[in-house]
Amino acid sequence: MQTLTPHVYWAQRHGEIYLRVEISDAQNLTIGVEENILHFKGQGHGAKGENEYEFNLEFLKTVKPEVKHKSTQRQVNITVKKQEHVWWDRLTKQEKKPLFLAPDFDRWLDESDAEMELREKEEKINKVSIESRVRKDPFLGLKKGFLFMYNLVQFLGYSWIFVNMTVRLFILGQDSFYDTFHTIADVMYFCQMLAIMEVINPAVGLVKTGVTPAFIQVMGRNFILFVIFGTLEDMQNKPVVFFVFYLWSMIEIFRYPFYMLACIDTEWKLLTWLRYTIWIPLYPLGVLAEAVAVIQSIPIFNETKLLSIPLPKAIGMSISFSYILQLYLVIMFLGLFINFRHLFKQRSRRFRTKKRKAN
């Protein structure tokens, strides 16, 4: 049987050399390193058919004598560890590359890419090491289950509101603007009272979001719902109620299912994009609609003296609630700025992380 040289492909990392020998169904393999020279000998089907193949490679720098190899039906994979974790300019001591040797482009990395891969491996090892030392939360499953159910209930509630209002808009047209409160208010009351959990959850550590942005949004909405719409019958028939409720529900039908899926470690790319993008036009429009509702309520509070603050009889007057509403308008737009900045940071961080993972 004729002895021939097989095709050999190589790649490297800082600590290892990878060789791929193109011999299928290899048998009687003899592979070892002596005096920094790799000796390979074996029988199998290579470039010249069924023959005995062998080759020798003298490495550029010192390697460890232990050699790992694995034979498959298609090839023989060899791993040789370097004595030092350094990058080699070439594989062999001789400057002229052997004719049978070529780069393994399936595994090839340049030095900078290999360093990045090494850092990622170290980070993963460190993360696993830290996680193994950190005590696991025995109630994690229970917490995720609670958050999943909370987001599911809110999603169903706001979906009912959105679908109901959309259907009524198509059937009744502008007439649906005037009885929105009497049709939708009960479900909106339920959803917004339940939304107080979004302030409690980060406060007790159930979720890792800020308490302040959640407090601003939840309390701001509840002020509009319970104080402006709930206490003034004259406000309940105004079209602004429709626009406030509709804008709120449009935001939430994307936000809650996103959080719901996050509880089960699932992500839909389109839903993620919608959750972090659709609020950009809708959130300011929602605040604008709320501001219109506050402005429209001011004359009603002045006329009815409802919720006015009485002063001592000697003064003989009271502080109209409208002054508080005017102050609230300023606070509302300040809250818009704070929440907008928080949401933009959240959006940028989310897509920056996804881009880094993709690369």
Active site residues: 283, 290
Torsion angles phi and psi, residue 208, rounded to 5:
-100, 50
| Pairwise CA distance, residues 119 & 248, whole Å | 44
The residue among 263, 112, 252, 237 whose CA lies nearest residue 183 is: 237
Which helix (H) or strand (E) segment holds residue 247: the answer is helix 240-262
Which helix (H) or strand (E) segment holds residue 172: the answer is helix 140-172
CA 288 to chain centre: 29
Structure tokens at 26: 């290899």
| Pairwise CA distance, residues 318 & 217, whole Å | 30
Q: How far is CA 219 from CA 8, 86, 296, 335, 342, in A?
A: 69, 59, 20, 11, 17
By the 8 A CB rule, do 148 and 260 touch?
yes
